[in-house]
Structure 1
Amino acid sequence: MGFKERADKLIQRDDERYKEKPRDIRIDTNKLASHGIKFENTMDGIERAIKDFGLMF
């Protein structure tokens, strides 16, 4: 089983828990990037963490 299949199995969307209070966690990261702080997209970050910490399932 590849990473995508494992991620799809382990990460589940939850549309009910905060249905009445939706959250928008988008932030503008341009200022951080100008100081050398960069964020990966979520899937790349999860994949790197799994590899870095040896969490292969």
Structure 2
Amino acid sequence: MAITKIHPIKSTLNLAIDYITKSEKTDEKILVSSFKYHPSTAHTQFIKIRKIIFYSIFLKR
């Protein structure tokens, strides 16, 4: 059973994704997977989704 620790991301999301998907840390990226997002474009997709959610919440008021 794998055990992971949760650490807060204190840098930018883009740097965090780059660090998490380093090939030397993920068995040459075999252990990297995602759902609906490709690791190389996840940062921009997350930003777009965050803007959509933000505007949908505040425009309803």
* TM-score (ref. length: structure 1): 0.30
**More RCO (CA 8 Å, sep 6+):** 1
* TM-score (ref. length: structure 2): 0.29
